[in-house]
Amino acid sequence: MANMSMIQALNSALDIALTRDPDTLIFGQDVGYFGGVFRVTDGLQKKHGLSRCFDSPISEGGIVATAIGMGAYGLRPVVEIQFADYILPAFDQLVSEAARLRYRSNGEFWAPITVRAPYGGGIHGGQTHSQSPEAIFAHITGLKTVIPSNPHDAKGLLLAAIADDDPVIFLEPKRVYNGPFNGRHDQQQKSWSGHPLGEVPEDYYIVPLGRASTVRSGTEATVLAYGTMVHVALAGIEESGVDAELIDLRSIVPLDIETIVDSVLRTGRCVIVHEASRFGGFGGELSALVQERCFFNLRSPIERIAGWDTPYPHAFEWDYFPGPERVAKALQRAMSHA
Amino acid sequence: MPSRTKLNLHIPSPRSRPGDRADFGHLSIPPATGASRPPSNVAASDIRELAYGLIRVMDDSDQAVGQWRPRLDPAHLRHGLRAMLLTRVFDDRMFAAHRQGKASFYMKSSGEEAIGAAQSLMLDRNDMCFPTYRLVSWLMARDYPLIDLVNQIFSNAHDPLKGRQLPVLYSARAYGFYSLSGNVGSRFGHAVGWAMASAYKHDSRIAIGYIGEGTTAEGDFHEALTFASVYRAPVILCITNNQWAISSFQGIAGGETTTFASKAIGYGIPGLRVDGNDFLAVHAATQWAAERARNNGGPTLIELYTYRAEGHSTSDDPAKYRPADEPEHWPLGDPIDRLKRHLIGIGEWSEERHAALLQELTAAVRAAVKQGEEVGTLGQSKPHPAEMFNGVFKEPDWRTLEQRRELGI
């Protein structure tokens, strides 16, 4: 075990993947010699060689197209999109090609690619460095979408994503790269040192895709969250005084429906928290699933705490960002219904 | 204020529309002996003229001439002729099958058969082709079973793609033929990635990718060329310039002011402009590019100058936007007729043998169609509906398992 930030944990996962499998390689903008703008690939080119971790042109569509071709050949490429906000030029490749290749070719070709992208707000990044696009990928049949919330899971999930034979979008919550941010931006920020999930095995392990983690057990309500919002939700639960169960989904496709349903059937209340804007967000799908499967056990309306339906606003970041107070209020509202 | 010239917006238009005389008089077709053949390791900057000329081997009397003339065994040429003729016969039969309601859709390769046939026979069996939908001659040259094509087109119970894909959008890995899709251009970069992977593994295999001249306007084209150039990928990138993208003539894609092969120049790679209706020229140019790629010389862009002799698909009527007789006036002729006349000219073929071959291939196609009809045509037969849910992921997740139960299968 070693104490690691999420950046170090991701770096460790990539280092191990390169060491274990000569068919794994990494490319993306600035990931080579420099080691990436967030340092996730720091030192990998020097250690593993130029062809294992190299810079690419500024061309998200080209990066993903190239990765798919490599995947069809038999490699297992891991590519970085510098910010999830910039993934849209690659959207056609992800939707029309990566997600459909296995299906349309009846399994003759497939794309075992991992597309890493830092996402989410809370970093004063404005609308082009803060967005949470997970719902648009979750909607695409054939793509998996994974979102860790802590260093331990980040390493294990990334190794699982790389080993997976289907295309995986791996969204990294950059606000918690260096510490478990709980949404209270005006307080002193913590690092991962001292946090139990900052303790990361140095060797290979995987956290399987599609298994949620129960972060906190509770009896009165269920809170569903992923990424940075896991920490915000935990703070919100503590502030609310409600004995809520907190589930970190870890991957939204595949989705651990059993854990969700099992919890809501017990608690009878559900609050969904995500950073992305509310309308059409992944919270809508979660809400529908919970309603379909737990309706007769629900004691209050399902609540969605999310970003507002605006572009990500620069100067209004903390008005937009769903903080622990909004989570606490939602829990209290849920409790006010009998 | 000084007086300014009024600006005019230029909207390209073809020279002939329905009712006009087909007119290709503006095209300058250089003589077959015109193009010099440099060594395949030449600097790209030394051969820019090849992107503006036209590499031909068969002259106007169908004799093989010039520096690009390949030395090919007559049996190889007859193999190519057979693949092209089979493609033509098959296309005509399947187009008719669509009109009879036996298939939902069909696309012919008419006029472009030399491209897939020559390149399929020139490249190695374990190289990989990233095709467009007008490249079935690649499969014909490698003796892909006709019945598998028929079953795919009929979307019947024996469809090798399990009813999941539109007719003609084949996948045939064992034949070096990558999965097709209806999104044009989006596999061009896969050819580059595949080739980069081959180089990464110190393999000896190369890739060949295709895009239509109309689709060179997509970002995919430029992204693929950028990556191919930057990483010197062992790939042959082909533009099949068949003059028409559905109803849009090649000027709408930028062909009025320059050649499509010349796009290579900005990327610092060789651009070859080749008579795509000349089996020998297509072979020769591909051989040159393959040799360059296999020797770590990187990518080559080849414009295959050809003509789409029929409509875009069964959903198209070209007489609505171009003169009905335009195909007959294409100055570079028909690829099958030309190779046939060349073979006859060198004493390796005859009208009688050609007629016999046509008869044999017609019978083979008829037999395959009959066999497919026995399985079932569109709507009469289809794979098990469970196939709809298979193959989304390697292992199904709960959604498709539940939905399959919901559908009751």
Task: Please indicate whether, in this complex, the C-beta atoms of B197 and A75 are within 8 angstroms of each other.
Answer: yes
Q: Report the gap between the CA of B378 and the closest CA in chain A (Å).
A: 18
Residue A129 has pLDDT above 70, yes or no: yes
Closest listed residue to residue B106, CA positions, set B407, B377, B400, B381: B377
The tens digit of pLDDT for each residue in A221-249 reads 999 999 999 999 999 999 999 999 999 99
Query: Quick count: other Cβ atoms within 10 Å of Cβ B382?
Result: 17
Fill in the amino acid letter for B43.
Answer: A
Residue A169 has pLDDT above 90, yes or no: yes
Task: Please indicate whether, in this complex, the C-beta atoms of B394 and A210 are within 8 angstroms of each other.
Answer: no
The tens digit of pLDDT for each residue in A254-307 reads 999 999 999 999 999 999 999 999 999 999 999 999 999 999 999 999 999 999
Measured in degrees and rounded to the nearest 5, phi and psi for residue B177 equal -130, 105
Which residues of chain A neighbour B195 with C-beta distances below 8 Å? 69
Which residue from A62, A144, A165 is facing B189, i.e. has the nearest CB? A62
Tell me the average pLDDT across B278-304.
98
Residue A65 has pLDDT above 70, yes or no: yes
Tell me the average pLDDT across B96-111.
97
Please report which confidence band the pLDDT of residue B2 belongs to, taking 50, 70 and 90 as the band edges.
confident
Task: Please indicate whether, in this complex, the C-beta atoms of B194 and A105 are within 8 angstroms of each other.
Answer: no
Per-residue confidence (pLDDT) for residue B25, from 0 to 100: 87
Per DSSP bridges, beta strands B248-249 and B271-275 are unpaired
Tell me the average pLDDT across A31-41.
98
Tell me the average pLDDT across B241-268.
97
Q: Report the gap between the CA of A175 and the closest CA in chain B (Å).
A: 30
Residue B231 has pLDDT above 90, yes or no: yes
The tens digit of pLDDT for each residue in B149-169 reads 999 999 999 999 999 999 999
Domains present along chain B, CATH in parentheses: 49-378 (3.40.50.970), 385-409 (no CATH)
Q: Report the gap between the CA of B385 and the closest CA in chain A (Å).
A: 14
Closest listed residue to residue B31, CA positions, set B61, B62, B63, B60: B60
Which residues of chain A neighbour B170 with C-beta distances below 8 Å? none
Please report which confidence band the pLDDT of residue A122 belongs to, taking 50, 70 and 90 as the band edges.
very high
Query: Tokens 């084209």 identify what position?
Result: B221
The Cα–Cα gap between A133 and A86 comes to: 10
Q: Is the ipTM above a cut-off of 0.90?
A: yes
Which residues of chain B neighbour A292 with C-beta distances below 8 Å? none
**% chain A with pLDDT above 90:** 99
Domains present along chain A, CATH in parentheses: 2-200 (3.40.50.970), 213-336 (3.40.50.920)
**Bridge partners, residue A326, by sequence:** none
The tens digit of pLDDT for each residue in B130-148 reads 999 999 999 999 999 999 9
Per-residue confidence (pLDDT) for residue A338, from 0 to 100: 65
**% chain B with pLDDT above 70:** 100
Mutate to test the interface with A, among B181, B227, B230, B237 (most CBs of A within 10 A): B227
Per-residue confidence (pLDDT) for residue B28, from 0 to 100: 86
Mutate to test the interface with B, among A18, A76, A108, A137 (most CBs of B within 10 A): A108
Tell me the average pLDDT across B84-88.
98
Which residues of chain A neighbour B194 with C-beta distances below 8 Å? 69-70, 72-73
Q: Report the gap between the CA of B223 and the closest CA in chain A (Å).
A: 5
Which residues of chain B neighbour A61 with C-beta distances below 8 Å? 189, 219-220, 223
Please report which confidence band the pLDDT of residue A110 belongs to, taking 50, 70 and 90 as the band edges.
very high
B389 and chain A in contact, CB less than 8 A: no
